[in-house]
């Protein structure tokens, strides 16, 4: 039984009541996204206090947008955000499985099973399930492997146009870049209201040239200078300017700065991209010299641009260097175009590292935002599949792993088996939710599929959500990236373990003159 008492000035809620409170919060989060899972999943409408709406079935968008105060619920959302950052997809699956693991864990605890034993069995079960998924995975053989196309289509929610864009972008960046853990193909996805869908080798900078006198298009071997600084004369203290010597130095610095700008013009530089501000004199001289200048470019865009064109970003003091030294810092691109209607500049055909941009467009802002989310999911899934392979989708891989764990259940000794049971039941949850969302009886279909998997010794058999018949998911084209599945399962296990370990919830003492906001017992 739970025990409540006062300890100093803190309210204490202990033992199973703490576990029940936390588990209920996680289950509430899971219920908010479970209806979106699978090919027949429906959308969720999120409405803020101003009446603005977001309609989506993207799990991470729902989790990030919904109002949540409970710390256990926040733990789920933070873990989902980490999954989105690492593998780019699978947040809904991770959330649903975390809720299922906790539900089963609470049931076992209410029967009297020690929580420490539940946790030990849960950890063992998760690791064994991951081993099974790795064993059954199919490897992707290059960027033209049909499996990769199916991953793009499934993660792209059957939008063929988006799947094609993402696959083309993957081919443009190449296998070496896709294999780089530091590179995220999803970052190449941009959205623009009124734009056409397209993919090209290059990047988009969401800035416009400083004035209309600057060129709107540059062709050929365009030299590009990247300035990770302000393009302004060196500053001086006001006290120094008040002296004759100081004022003379100020004039000399301005003259030197002006001479350096004219030298950039003489070097034939076509484009200057600046991190911060640009002085009026610099704008005038560079515009007269036919140079396109972009200012206050974000550090992310500045870095991607430098990488693509092969430039080495410099500070403004580098303008004093010799012409030979400056030339070594320049990058080169084949084409630079100002897209006036879209208020952006495209830099294409850089001689540095190959980068691709996926531009997703639609007629309205709401639609284009959702299409952008879909494209980012597809890009993340394609990269994950290329790196780690695929497993059969539709919840079948997890269901088959659940069956194998059940067969090995008898090998366990002691009460850790009850924690093992939690994983066995949680692995069934994605399949059941997908089938429920498709309008079929999940218990009936699950028994049919389990029997078929055992009879045919195949983990790939599942339910065709269009017809309700048992089909080979891989032959049907329903596949999921292995890293998405394993990360989701491990994340769900970590959430369940962390919450099961919480024995006491303590409301911290309020500081004098402050008001405690948020109720740790509710969302």
Which of 345, 379, 405 represents a domain boundary (last residue)? Answer: 345
pLDDT band at residue 267 using 50, 70 and 90 as cut-offs? very high
pLDDT band at residue 295 using 50, 70 and 90 as cut-offs? very high
Tens of pLDDT, residues 38-87: 888 888 888 877 778 888 878 888 888 888 888 888 888 888 888 888 88
**Average pLDDT of the chain, as a whole number:** 88
Domain harbouring 457, CATH code: 1.10.560.10
Q: What pLDDT was estimated at residue 74? A: 87
pTM, two decimal places: 0.80
Cα gap 422→121, rounded to integer Å: 8
Q: Is residue 146 predicted with pLDDT exceeding 50?
A: yes
Annotate 79-93 with b (16+ C-beta within 10 A) or e (fewer).
bbeebbebbbbbbbb
Q: Is residue 9 predicted with pLDDT exceeding 50?
A: no
Q: What percent of the chain has pLDDT over 70?
A: 92
Q: For residues 431 and 394, is the Cβ–Cβ distance under 8 A?
A: yes
| 85 and 31 within one domain | yes
Q: What pLDDT was estimated at residue 1? A: 36
Which of 311, 345, 379 represents a domain boundary (last residue)? Answer: 345
| 332 and 408 within one domain | no
Highest mean pLDDT among 66-75, 397-406, 513-522: 397-406
| 243 and 133 within one domain | no
Minimum mean pLDDT among 162-171, 174-183, 305-314: which range?
174-183
- The alpha carbon of residue 122 and the mean position of all alpha carbons in its chain are separated, in whole angstroms, by 27
Total of domains in the chain: 3
pLDDT band at residue 5 using 50, 70 and 90 as cut-offs? very low
Q: What pLDDT was estimated at residue 233? A: 86
Cβ-proximal residues to 338 (8 Å cutoff; 6+ apart), any chain: 208, 209, 216, 217, 292, 344, 345
Residue 357 is assigned to a structural domain of this protein: no
Cα gap 95→489, rounded to integer Å: 9
| 131 and 34 within one domain | yes
| Domain span at 316 | 200-345
Q: What pLDDT was estimated at residue 334? A: 95
For residue 270, give both structure tokens: 């076509």
| 282 and 174 within one domain | no
Q: For residues 301 and 205, is the Cβ–Cβ distance under 8 A?
A: yes
Q: What pLDDT was estimated at residue 2? A: 38
Q: For residues 46 and 122, is the Cβ–Cβ distance under 8 A?
A: no
Cα gap 347→349, rounded to integer Å: 7
More confident residue, 331 or 235: 331
For residue 57, give both structure tokens: 């079935």
Q: Is residue 7 predicted with pLDDT exceeding 50?
A: no
Minimum mean pLDDT among 18-27, 243-252, 261-270, 340-349: which range?
243-252
| 418 and 338 within one domain | no
What distance, in Å, lies between the first and last C-alpha atoms of the chain? 24
- The alpha carbon of residue 478 and the mean position of all alpha carbons in its chain are separated, in whole angstroms, by 22
Q: Computed from CA positions of residues 283, 287, 293, 294, in that sequence, does the dihedral angle turn out positive or negative?
A: positive
Question: What is the mean pLDDT of the segment spanning 425-429?
Answer: 95
Q: For residues 246 and 324, is the Cβ–Cβ distance under 8 A?
A: no
């Amino acid at each position: 039984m739970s025990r409540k008492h006062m300890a100093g000035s803190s309210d204490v809620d202990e033992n199973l009541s703490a576990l029940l409170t936390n588990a209920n919060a996680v289950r509430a989060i899971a219920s908010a996204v479970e209806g979106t899972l699978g090919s027949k999943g429906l959308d969720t409408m999120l409405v803020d206090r101003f009446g603005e709406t977001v309609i989506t079935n993207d799990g991470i968008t729902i989790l990030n947008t919904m109002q949540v105060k409970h710390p256990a619920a926040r733990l789920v959302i933070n873990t989902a955000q980490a999954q989105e950052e690492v593998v780019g997809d699978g947040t809904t699956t991770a959330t649903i499985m975390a809720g299922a693991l906790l539900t089963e864990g609470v049931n076992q605890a209410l029967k009297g099973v020690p929580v420490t034993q539940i946790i030990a069995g849960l950890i063992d079960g998760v690791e064994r399930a991951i081993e099974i998924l790795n064993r059954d995975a199919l490897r992707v053989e290059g960027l033209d492997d049909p499996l990769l196309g199916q991953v793009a289509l499934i993660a792209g929610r059957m939008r063929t146009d988006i799947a094609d864009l993402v696959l083309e972008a993957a081919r443009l960046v190449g296998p070496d870049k896709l294999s780089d853990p530091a590179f995220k193909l999803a970052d190449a996805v941009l959205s623009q209201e009124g734009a056409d869908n397209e993919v090209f080798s290059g990047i988009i900078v969401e800035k416009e040239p400083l004035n209309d006198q600057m060129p709107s298009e540059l062709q050929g071997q365009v030299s590009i200078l990247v300035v990770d600084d302000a393009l302004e004369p060196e500053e001086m203290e006001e006290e120094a300017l008040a002296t004759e010597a100081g004022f003379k130095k100020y004039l000399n610095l301005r003259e030197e700065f002006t001479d350096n700008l004219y030298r950039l013009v003489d070097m034939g530089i076509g484009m200057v991209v600046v991190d911060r501000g640009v002085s009026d004199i610099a704008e005038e001289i560079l515009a007269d010299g036919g140079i396109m200048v972009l200012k206050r470019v974000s550090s992310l865009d500045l870095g991607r641009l430098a990488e693509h064109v092969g430039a080495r970003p410099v500070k403004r003091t580098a303008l004093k260097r010799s012409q030979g030294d400056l030339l070594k810092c320049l990058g080169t691109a084949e084409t630079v175009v100002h897209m006036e209607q879209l208020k952006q500049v495209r830099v294409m055909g850089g001689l540095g590292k190959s980068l691709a941009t996926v531009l997703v467009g639609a007629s309205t802002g709401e639609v284009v935002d959702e299409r952008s989310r879909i494209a980012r999911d597809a890009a993340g899934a394609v990269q994950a599949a290329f790196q780690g392979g695929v497993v059969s989708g539709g919840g079948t891989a997890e269901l088959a792993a659940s069956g194998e764990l059940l067969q090995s259940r008898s090998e366990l000794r002691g009460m850790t088996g009850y924690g093992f049971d939690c994983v066995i039941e949680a692995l069934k949850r994605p399949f059941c939710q997908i089938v429920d969302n498709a309008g079929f009886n999940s218990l009936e279909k699950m028994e049919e599929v389990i029997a078929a998997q055992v009879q045919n010794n195949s983990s790939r058999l599942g339910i065709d959500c269009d017809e309700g018949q048992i089909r080979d998911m891989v032959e049907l084209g329903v596949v999921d990236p292995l890293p998405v599945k394993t990360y989701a399962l491990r994340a769900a296990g970590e959430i369940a373990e962390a919450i099961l370990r919480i024995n006491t919830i303590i409301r911290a003492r309020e500081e004098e003159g402050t008001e405690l906001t948020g109720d740790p017992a509710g969302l």
